[in-house]
Amino acid sequence: MSILSLLFIFVLASFLGFELIQRVPSQMHTPLMSGTNAISGITLVGALVATGIEGAFGTALAVLAVVFATINVVAGYLVTDKMLGMFRAGAGKGSGEGNE
């Protein structure tokens, strides 16, 4: 693949991701987070495959893609765990039972 086609795919994916996330209601962010993390994992695999591109510029972009995809996956799972922990902590409230 040429650098121009890779750049086109990157710009298209960035635009699509921005539009998709912008249109998700805030109530749906928590349930959709784990599915999004799985998609980010697929992105990470694609970035790893892209590291085999010939040329220094393509390899540099692929390495950046691996770094950013890894950060996205790890941070997404950490945020999901924190959100689910907030739900677990509030499960007994309001029912008369204490959590202590």
Tell me the one-letter amino acid at 18: F
Give the chain's domain count.
1
**Residue 98 falls within a domain, yes or no?**
no
What's this model's pTM, rounded to 2 decimal places?
A: 0.54
**Residue 40 falls within a domain, yes or no?**
yes
**Residue 75 falls within a domain, yes or no?**
yes
Q: What is the pLDDT of residues 52-95, one digit of tens each?
A: 777 788 788 888 888 888 888 888 888 778 877 777 766 555 55
Q: What is the mean pLDDT of the chain?
A: 76
**Residue 27 falls within a domain, yes or no?**
yes
**Residue 99 falls within a domain, yes or no?**
no
Contact in structure between 60 and 17 (CB atoms under 8 Å)? no
Residue span of the structural domain in which 37 resides: 3-89
